[in-house]
Amino acid sequence: MPATNDYSSRKEWEVACWRNIVESGEILQLFITPYERHNIVMRVATLEGLASGKSYKKIGEELWLSPQTISSIKKAVSEKLYRSYRDRGKSERKKKTYSTIKTPRNKPKRVFRRTKYGVLYMP
């Protein structure tokens, strides 16, 4: 692994380390689980399907993926960064806006009591 002092930012250092890890497949095999490997393979296969012009439905049938998953992979390609729906939701969540206009009530609120005779409304 390269020394961190050789790079101006942590991001550059991470990119250089990732290149080293990818070049030596042995390290990659040690640290990536079969589930992660499966996800990477599915993303690459989806990307190839999109590049060849296949429809979402055709890709989904071949790889057993939902259209939402294919769409997120397509977004990742256009943004040059893969982010899960959970990560997207954190940054793209809309802030709630509360209305300052109060709606007038037409009728005054009536209090009711349940009794053995039924519901009695108090003035």
CA separation, residue 86 to residues 41, 45, 46, 70, 107 (Å): 21, 23, 20, 16, 44
* pLDDT at site 59: 94
pLDDT digits (tens, 9 = 90+) for 81-123: 777 767 767 776 667 777 677 766 666 677 888 999 888 888 7
Predicted TM-score of the model (pTM): 0.56
Query: Could you tell me the residue ranges of all domains in the chain?
Result: 10-101
C-alpha 32/C-alpha 46 separation (Å) is 20
Place of tokens 């296969």: 45
Average pLDDT of the chain, as a whole number: 83
Q: Do residues 40 and 58 touch, judged by C-beta distance below 8 A?
A: no
* pLDDT at site 92: 65
| Structure token digits, residue 4 | 């961190």
* pLDDT at site 62: 92
